[in-house]
Chain A
Amino acid sequence: MTTTRRYGSLIVAALLLVVFVYALYEVQTWSTRSRLFATTITIPAIALALAQVAREARRLDVIRSVPVEAVVSRSAIAWFAGFFAGLWLIGLMYTIPLFSAAYLRFGAGEAWAKSAAYAAVASAFAYLLFIRFLHIPLPTGVLPLPAVAP
């Protein structure tokens, strides 16, 4: 079981405190009408965030288990980042087949044939449903590649 000390929770509480203090600072330049709601929530928010920071600081030695659903492997993060880097560079319609084939083959250990078939089906699905049928524009990349159009 993965365990962690409470530094992370303390950092989250401290970040929230910073956000609320910044919000209250920013609010001061607004008109009275605009300020009403913002002031009503940021002042108690700062007080509660301070209380939480103090509470977390007192319990730094407590070791707790990490929820199963929050355990993420480095390879998962790498593949995830790879997908969005591909989307930014070459656009979604090129990323989908490349990512599907590469991820299933090397990330999930599937056979080449299965991975390639999945990539073809996923691309056809995206093209037919989103481009041909729903006419939804899909993200294109920064690299000048030919556009996939109906």
Chain B
Amino acid sequence: MGPCAGLSSNAHDACSGRANGTTIRVRKRREGSIDVFLGSLISVLQWPTSGLLLLGVAIGFVVGILPGLGGAVTLALMLPFIYDMDPIPAFAFLLGMHAVVATTGDITSVLFGIPGEATTVATILDGHPMAQRGEAGRALGAVLFSSLVGAIIGAAVLALSVPVMRPLVLAFGPPEFLMLTVLGLTFIVALSSGNMLKGFLMALLGLVASMVGLDPFAGRPRFTFGQLYLWDGLNIVPVVIGLFAIAETLQLMTTRTSIAHTIGAAPITRVMEGVIDTFRHWWLTLRCSLIGVFIGIIPGMGGATAQFIAYAHAQQTSKHPEEFGKGSIEGVLAAGSVNNSKEGGSIIPTVAFGVPGSTSTAILLGAFLILGLVPGPDMLTKHLAVTFSMVWVIVLSNVVAVALSFVLLKQLVKLTFVKGTWLVPFLLLLVSIGAFTTHNDLLDIVVMLVFGAVGWAALRWDWPRAPFLLAFVLGHTAERYLFLSHQLYEWAWLGRPAVLALIALSLGGLVYSLKRRRYSAEVAPPGAAGVAA
């Protein structure tokens, strides 16, 4: 029965006319979206975007393998290079680099039992035992190819989420966006940090830091201490570099080691067998990829958590759970498929609501601001091509990375012998230039050093850095939405149904986190308590 059934003749005509009009508009929008989707592929393949994508992939490759350098740090170091770029080339460069870091991080996890990235830790559990019994090539083939499958699934979900997200985002007003910001911050604090109170305090400090500069409503300087330099506010680039890169550089200067010391690399053969394993266990690869996507969507859950949840799922559903931890191919596939599928998932809330789910996506959000893009409705309408280009960048960069990994595997392994000390002068050069290019002012470097001290102190005394960064990035948005909500509805906005639902969700996240922590404390062995998540 149609929607116009039961109406009078005139009403029926009018209704069916409206229904037809709506159907035509929906069809046109769908066709328009497909055009934009295909057009964005052409944009990504054009020069110089494709060249920047390859450059990003090359940097991501090296960073994934080199000691001490993380994906988030490298993203921060590369931010200054995008100032003069258009959005699509800029994201091809940044996202291309970020998307492959975890892929190559798996190589060191398998060969040396040392994760190139924190998000590739679960790969060690079965990948390294396989390497030890002479199946390094098979493990690498499986983990790299399942990573590619995961990346494609994550990117597909990102693309398919656009028509679902668009009406939702367009229906939201300032109060709902404000509460989404609060929800994102709450989840980051509740799920990712070891101590919730410390997490909240760091988030609140980030919000205070975001207020430095001229008041956007009255034009009055706030927390500028008479410094004209601070009237523009604290720029994200020196802040991020300081928070993350300084501590890592100092650590490299202290440890002075390479990933591979005297350990001989295992022979790399039977790579194709690992690829075939991915097809043989396609249902497991698909399930674990989807786990990665959905965990990626939830702010604060993080890549490492996603890997272990998928790993546990694989073990629970396996016919041979006793082989897990001793070199199970299913364990390798579970860890590998999550690696990159979560990237597509974590970009969804960043693009649609401006709420990043992790440190890396918070830095990507900073890139949005540098490029003059505002996440939210515009990214699903006016700038849809940029959003779709991200989908293609994730897919293409992973295809290139995995293909190169197979071809250059033996040469890439040699990078693990690079000593940390050899990277130090180069890193110091990059951090200095990265910070300085913000305003071409030595005070940019001072800001970086101040936040370097903050980042190191946070690491030293176990205060989480991610909530600070997220709050700092989201501070302006939160202030604007609070102001608009208050102007429009006074405090009555707190009673809106969607706002109440989001408050309930935030509280639910906190309660869940507290329960999880209590449970962990009960089952954890003595001495394990107090370790930050």
Contact = CB atoms under 8 A, between A and B. Distances in A.
A92 B249 contact: no
A30 B222 contact: yes
Interface residues of B, number: 55
Contacts of A45: 201, 204-205, 208
A84 B208 contact: no
A59 B482 CA distance: 37
A71 B254 contact: yes
A69 B205 contact: no
B440 interface: yes
Nearest to A22: B223
Contacts of B445: 84, 87, 139
Interface in B247-282: 247-251, 253-254, 256
A55 B433 contact: no
Which of A30, A80, A107, A126 counts the most chain B CB atoms within 10 A?
A80
A52 B198 contact: yes
A72 B250 contact: yes
B211 A72 contact: no
A52 B201 contact: yes
Interface in B183-211: 197-198, 200-201, 204-205, 207-208, 211
Which of B220, B442, B458 counts the most chain A CB atoms within 10 A?
B442
Contacts of B249: 80
B461 A130 contact: no
Q: Would you call the interface of chain A mostly helix, strand, loop, or mixed?
A: helix
Given A12-B461, A30-B222, A67-B460, A107 B253 contact: yes
Contacts of B426: 122, 125
Contacts of B460: 8, 66-67, 70
Contacts of B442: 88, 139
Contacts of B208: 19-20, 23, 38, 41-42, 45
A36 B530 CA distance: 37
A69 B218 contact: no
B378 interface: no
A52 B463 CA distance: 12
Interface string B428-464: 1100110011001010010001000000111111110
A85 B421 CA distance: 20
Contacts of A34: 215, 217-218, 220, 222
A108 B388 CA distance: 46
A33 B200 contact: no
Contact of B253 (A26, A80, A88): A80
Contacts, number: 157
Given A12-B463, A88-B442, A70 B247 contact: yes
B47 interface: no
Interface string A128-148: 001000101111000000000
A77 B205 contact: no
A36 B424 contact: no
Contacts of A60: none
A77 B479 CA distance: 38
Contacts of B251: 69-72
Nearest to A73: B254
B223 A70 contact: no
Contacts of B425: 96, 99-100, 103-104, 118-119, 122
B383 interface: no
B478 interface: yes
Contacts of B287: none
A55 to B, nearest CB: 7
B419 interface: yes
B527 to A, nearest CB: 10
Contacts of A108: 256, 419, 421-422, 424
Given A80-B250, A103-B424, A67 B462 contact: yes
Contact of B211 (A33, A37, A104): A37
Given A13-B201, A31-B220, A69-B247, 5 more contacts: A9-B462, A64-B530, A76-B254, A107-B421, A108-B419
28 contacts: A9-B461, A9-B462, A9-B463, A12-B461, A19-B208, A20-B208, A23-B208, A33-B218, A34-B218, A36-B483, A45-B201, A45-B208, A64-B462, A64-B530, A67-B459, A70-B251, A71-B254, A79-B424, A80-B249, A96-B429, A99-B428, A104-B422, A104-B425, A119-B425, A125-B426, A136-B433, A139-B436, A139-B445
Q: Which 4 A-B pairs have the closest CB atoms?
A: A76-B253, A108-B421, A45-B204, A100-B425
